[in-house]
Amino acid sequence: MPRRASSFSSVLVLAFAAAACSPVNQPSVVSLDPNAPGVVPNKIAGDGEVRFTVRPRYTTGSAVAIELDIRAGTLQIIGPLSGAIFYSAAPGPEQVARRLDAAQLPGVDVQPGKTAHATITWDGKYETGEFVGAGTYSLALDFIVGGDVKRLGTVVQIAAR
């Protein structure tokens, strides 16, 4: 009988030791603030990543600013070099609301193993100069990743004031 208790005690000690050495699973932190920005990660070749930080909604008649955090893995990342804002014109295909020019696209050159930050600013207007209406829009940005063109994007929600 003592031998069985000793074996059981050894198993308990090993279990507690293993539990103490294993990492604790931290619960993910979810913001209760409905206006908190969201991060949209885009994994790319060479173990790189381009993260878009986007507010859940922007208001009509105002500019839209989107933060980019770029991390080059083993491949160089250049861009964004070109971009556009699209909207759905149901039942047809998406239409271009606005093309983004060099003033709105601060292209960066991120060497392998390095990081960079950039801000994309869209004035919230169509090509015609009028402010867009409330709705869901798509932002598409073109990067060069290790010599290949890669289009990345996110959704932008515009709400009425």
Which amino acid belongs to residue 82?
A: S
For 125, residues 6+ apart whose C-beta sits below 8 A from its C-beta are: 98, 131, 132
Percent of the chain with pLDDT strictly greater than 90: 69
Q: How confident is the model at residue 13 (pLDDT cuts 50, 70, 90)?
A: very low
CA-derived radius of gyration, the chain: 24
Cα separation of 121 and 123, whole Å?
Answer: 6
Q: How confident is the model at residue 15 (pLDDT cuts 50, 70, 90)?
A: very low
pTM: 0.77
Please confirm whether the linkage preceding 80 is cis (ω < 30° from 0).
yes
Nearest to 121, CA basis, from 138, 102, 134: 102
CATH match of 34-159 with 3.30.565.10: no
How many helices (H) and strands (E) the chain has is answered by 1, 10
- Assess whether pLDDT exceeds 50 at residue 5: no
- Assess whether pLDDT exceeds 60 at residue 17: no
Helix (H) or strand (E) holding 26: none
pLDDT score, position 89:
76
For 79, residues 6+ apart whose C-beta sits below 8 A from its C-beta are: 105, 107, 108, 141, 142, 143, 144
For 72, residues 6+ apart whose C-beta sits below 8 A from its C-beta are: 46, 48, 110, 111, 112, 113, 114, 115
Q: Are strands 48-54 and 38-44 parallel, antiparallel or unpaired?
A: antiparallel
Contact 94, 86 (CB under 8 A): yes
The residues with which 44 forms a beta bridge, in sequence order, are 48
Q: How confident is the model at residue 59 (pLDDT cuts 50, 70, 90)?
A: very high
φ, ψ of residue 126 to 5 degrees: the values are -70, 170
Q: Identify the weakest region by mean pLDDT among 34-43, 78-87, 138-147.
A: 34-43
The whole-number average pLDDT for the span 124-147 is 96
pLDDT score, position 81:
94
